[in-house]
Amino acid sequence: MGAPSHDSHDAEAEPQSPMWLPALGAVLFIGAAIWMFGTGKPVDEAQKPQAQEKAQERPSPPEARRVPPPVATDSGGRRPDPKQMEERIRAMQEQFRNRAPQPPPPPH
């Protein structure tokens, strides 16, 4: 006397698609693929040497110039003193250690 299972549905209740519909889809797909690959620009035999010469004439790309990594600065645009940075890091670590423990999140 339980609820009906999801597996027990009536196959005859579902609408049946006609067999020509998937066949039409396959024909359209194959036709589109043939059209796409078949309409590429043909290369004339006379144009092949010219294309190769143009490729050889093309200058090589300029070498990428190296950009130095950005330097950390304080709000005034000056480089911070390493000793000051160590002090700031220690102060933040101490604040993190001394903070009050957070209560656990409420259960859902």
pLDDT digits (tens, 9 = 90+) for 2-47: 555 555 566 667 778 888 898 999 999 999 999 888 877 665 665 6
77 conformational bin, left if phi > 0, alpha if psi -120 to 50, beta if neither: left
CB atoms under 10 Å from CB of 80, counted, come to: 14
Which residues, at least 6 apart from 43, have a Cβ–Cβ distance to it below 8 Å?
51
- Residue 14, judged by CB atoms within 10 A of its CB (0-12, 13-18, 19+), counts as exposed
pLDDT digits (tens, 9 = 90+) for 84-107: 889 989 998 998 888 877 788 888
pLDDT of residue 24: 94
Instruction: Name the pTM for this structure.
Output: 0.29
